[in-house]
Amino acid sequence: MTAAQQAQRDHLLRLFTHVHWANNEILLALQGAEALPEKLVTLFGHLLSAEKVWLERLNGRDSSALNIWPLTRFEDCGQLVRDNHEGYLSFLSPLDDAGLNTAVSYRTSKGILFSTTILDILSHVALHGSYHRGQISSYLRLEGHEPVNTDYITFTRLESYEG
């Protein structure tokens, strides 16, 4: 693996470490909420389920039985956060530049066949999660709770501070 390939893979590993950190921050905030509105559990369940669906697709497995808008029990979210993190790290670790540009064929939740590169899928997963974590934080504020700062730059500052 070239230095450039190593740098790209390392950046993706760091990005998905951020995804895990951010999901944990949301999980902790929701665990600390006295009354947990259903819309927050629904959004968080969707975010985590979508991560799982994409992981299944990346690994060449059929994801058609997985619901991206499941009726999630909040108690199951912590395990899904951990499972997704372990799955993405396992998937990312052996990848190189050529692997990132490999196209993955899959069917959407509506059954439509698509083919997308691994790099684009990974970028989508990270950005999709950021979008919904922002929604969750907005809802938390509306419910009178402290919103959660899951910004990537906050994560990098914590890394620098802790390291």
Averaged pLDDT, groups of 10, the chain, 163 residues long: 78 95 96 84 95 97 88 87 97 83 92 94 97 95 92 89 62
What is the pLDDT at residue 162? Answer: 66
Q: Three-state SS for 99?
A: helix
Closest CA to 152 of 46, 22, 1: 22
What is the pLDDT at residue 163? Answer: 52
Here the tokens at position 81 are 């956060």
What is the pLDDT at residue 96? Answer: 74
What is the pLDDT at residue 59? Answer: 96
pTM over 0.75: yes
Here the tokens at position 64 are 């058609």
With 0-12 / 13-18 / 19 or more C-beta atoms within 10 angstroms meaning exposed / middle / buried, residue 112 is exposed
Q: C-alpha 139: how far from its chain's center?
A: 19
